Amino acid sequence: MTQELSKIGTLIDQLIGYDPKLRYESISKIKLIAKTIGPKRTREEFIPFLNKIPFDEETKTILLLVTLLSEFVDLVGGEEHTHSLFPILLRYATYEDTSVRDQVIKTLTVLSGFSPNKEFSKHLYLFFKKLCFKKWTSSRYTACGIIPILYKNINEKQKEFVLKLFTRFCKNKSTLIRKIACQTLSKLILLFDKDLLLQYALPKLKQFHKDNQDSVRIQTIEVCVSFAKHLQDEQIILNEIIPIYQLLAQENSWRVRYLASKSMCSFSKNLNDNIILEKLLEPFLNLLADDEPEVRSVGCTQLYNFCELIKKHPKVIVERIIPKIGDLSTDSCEFVKSSLAVSIIKISPIIGKDETLTNLLSHQITLFSEESAKINLPLIRNLHYVAEVIGIEPLLDAILDSINRLSKNVDWRNRVEIIKCIPLIANLFDTGAFNEHLIDLCFSWFTDIVHSVREEATLMIKKLIETFGKKWGNEFVIPKIIELSNNQNHLFRQIAIFTFVKLAPILGSEFYKGDVIETIVKLGEDPIPNIRIYLINSLIELSKYINNDEKEILKKLLESLQEDVDRDVKYFATQTFEKTQKKN
């Protein structure tokens, strides 16, 4: 206990020390300090102490402190004492860096979830007023940001006061304040009744979407989404909200168009499909053909979800959307095509077999022919969507070419990713077709120059045996691994041992005898000491899945290795032998 208190004392000293690295480390352990000294001392001594940390401390240190305070509810004695954290949060609510003020808002949001009581609301209201009446932009920024937390837990008179102040924030000269006010409006809408939505929130939306700063206008997109989600009146949405969203989708600022495209499905999902077709299809198609590749790219990621919203109208998808897909599949920007690859395969179940074969398949094949892994990998990961509609045959050559290209990709991470896809692809093949087209490629990865690729190949083979069965594993896998154990490269012999161990739980004792045990014994005589050591360290795990006769063979192998010429091999053999004896 004395040693622990000494450690805590050191951490507290470091909090006000000169070394910024030590201060950061100590900040990361403030929960430990609070837990050790107890809730009362945390409230009365430790929180005030933390409040004295230099205000010009590094931003990342202050961010960490403010973030950790959201986890202090129990450490200060429960929800009735949560307000004891307010003085320190009030201090950083005016911090110069916006990221710190944003974190103060997030922390207060978390604390309000733990403490939805009148006492908390009372203190939060006082917190809000203190911030409002400071002259600094930073304090008003935070005050505006916490309004949604405050609003739902105060009385009508206080709500009226808060909304009056919020109106001022909406008209503030500072772009930063108007921006946070617009963000706040999108959250407040979800708390308003219909009258407030129409009389208070809607005029604010109309004001913001005409703001002269695009950083403010871009926030109105989320406000439109909140209106569509919360306002249960399609006619008002049709007449008031959709026209604003249409204008945002045609904005001069590409950043606004980007977010309009990204949010299109979130906005549309609360509307009926006829409204979507009539009012939003054309803006969405225009965004897919936007001059900026970033806008086209994010639109492509939304393609499947948008088609899902209008799936009752497959003819519209075929006649209006698929021609755009044709243009996008040959786009000059790789990012656009990689985003399209995420959606293009998933559309097949929506339009059906005939339309996929007639209108969509050629565009899918076009993307498969691309050299880029960023395009090919999403296509392969989602193959099951199209396979369940048209089968694998129409795409077979394109798929195999794509897999072969990825298997030789210069970036080993891409080779790992395609290996991870093989078990998914295997579900689309019968055993004969898989053996014909892919089994040799699968085993080629066992001799890759990168260890992570070889290791992933082992995990892949394990999953393939689970798919095709033990008999397939015994017939096609085990002979290949035995062959690998005789490879001239000792690294490949090592991966053979790794594979034997990984496959043991699913193949079981019936397969781990005869040739396999002979191979393992032979590896115990490998000329490379590291291989013998690796085998020794694998024997305990392997012995869990073999019969007693084979265990005796391994025991004799361990005994012989205790007399090995290499002292490291002798050491590990002795250690392993002792462990096996204790278990027996």
Tokens representing residue 136 in the block: 């600094």
pLDDT of residue 383: 92
Residue type, 209: H
Binned average pLDDT, 10 residues per bin, the chain of 584 residues: 58 66 80 85 84 73 88 85 86 87 90 73 85 84 89 86 91 91 93 90 92 92 93 89 95 95 93 93 95 95 95 93 94 94 93 93 93 93 92 92 93 95 92 91 93 94 92 90 91 91 83 81 89 88 81 85 87 84 62
pLDDT of residue 1: 46
pLDDT of residue 457: 95
Residue type, 244: I
Task: Tell the residue number behind the tokens 């040959």, with chain if given.
Answer: 330
Domains, the chain: 1-170 (1.25.10.10), 249-407 (1.25.10.10)
Helix axes 220-230, 254-262, angle to 10 degrees: 30
pTM: 0.84
User: Which secondary structure element, helix H or strand E, spans residue 371, and what is its range?
Assistant: none
Cα–Cα distance between 429 and 440 in angstroms, integer?
A: 15
Cβ atoms of 101 and 137 closer than 8 Å:
no
What are the helix (H) ranges across 269-407? 273-275, 281-288, 293-301, 303-309, 314-316, 322-328, 334-344, 348-351, 353-355, 361-368, 373-381, 383-390, 396-407
pLDDT of residue 2: 55
Output the CA–CA distances (angstroms, integers) from residue 499 to 4, 459, 471, 480, 494, in the order listed: 45, 8, 17, 11, 9
Residue type, 90: L
Concatenate the DSSP letters of all residues of 211-231 into one string.
-S-HHHHTTHHHHHHHHHHH-
Cα–Cα distance between 260 and 252 in angstroms, integer?
A: 12
Residue type, 237: I
Residue type, 285: L
Tokens representing residue 583 in the block: 């278990």
pLDDT of residue 76: 84
Output the CA–CA distances (angstroms, integers) from residue 438 to 5, 406, 407, 453, in the order listed: 62, 13, 11, 17
| Chain centroid, CA 492 distance in Å | 34
